[in-house]
Amino acid sequence: MADDGEEQLEFDFGKKKKKSKDKKEKTEGEDGEVTLVSTEWEKGEAYSYDDLLSRLYQIIEDKNPLLGTTKKYIMKPPQVVRVGSKKVGWVNFTEICNLMKRPVDHVINFVLAEFGTEGSTTSDGQLTLKGAYKEKHVESLLRKYIREFVTCEMCKSANTGLDKDQSTRLWTVNCHNCGASRTAASIKAGYHAVTRADRRAAKNAA
């Protein structure tokens, strides 16, 4: 009897694993057969460097239409007339400031500092300068101002704004096309010739 009891307590683990494995294979068979498909690798089209570069530029233009096309920046030439014997008048000064979208006071400070002279604006928007300046001198100065305070250094666009940082008191040029921003150069006084009036004023102050 003891031998019979021992035989009843025997477990065949191998058979149970096999039964479970058979069930798993049966389930897979019921769900569907898995077939392996072998494919051969085929070499695609080879692109040159110029082709890839052209595709890159095309993608940039499609994603950013404003960056792909640049508009020519046209500025009216300055009109300078003689005012008396020692002064000149920049007739369309305020009009040019509005075309550049720059504050009149900022442009005046730049012009006076670069020319090293004195000046003031009239009621009709004309800038009166002390000195015998010609249109070519004013045009050269205007180009310098546009290069430093108007044109974006990244995309070369003139669609920019000039804002003053209240914390640092510095002017920043912000591009409306590419979003680039840079700190504008501070206005520095240029060469100023010492006149007889300056020597007289300095002598009286001493």
Mean pLDDT of 120-138: 91
In which band, very low, low, confident or very high, does the pLDDT at 19 lie, cut at 50, 70 and 90? very low
How far, in whole angstroms, is CA 23 from its chain's centroid?
67
Nearest residue to 186 (alpha-carbon basis) of 167, 164, 158, 161: 164
Mean pLDDT of 190-200: 59
- Say what the pLDDT of residue 190 is: 53
Nearest residue to 85 (alpha-carbon basis) of 130, 136, 52, 21: 130
Mean pLDDT of 12-17: 50
- Say what the pLDDT of residue 156 is: 84
Q: Has residue 101 got a pLDDT over 70?
A: yes
Percent of the chain with pLDDT over 90: 35
Mean pLDDT of 161-188: 88
Task: Give the integer Cα–Cα distance in Å for 118 and 107.
Answer: 13
Mean pLDDT of 170-186: 89
Q: Has residue 142 got a pLDDT over 70?
A: yes
- Say what the pLDDT of residue 89 is: 94
In contact, 78 and 143? CB cutoff 8 Å: no
Of residues 206 and 91, the one with the higher pLDDT is 91
- Say what the pLDDT of residue 31 is: 54
The CA–CA distances, whole Å, from 170 to 77, 165, 178, 190 equal 29, 5, 21, 19
Mean pLDDT of 59-81: 73
- Say what the pLDDT of residue 81 is: 93
- Say what the pLDDT of residue 157 is: 86
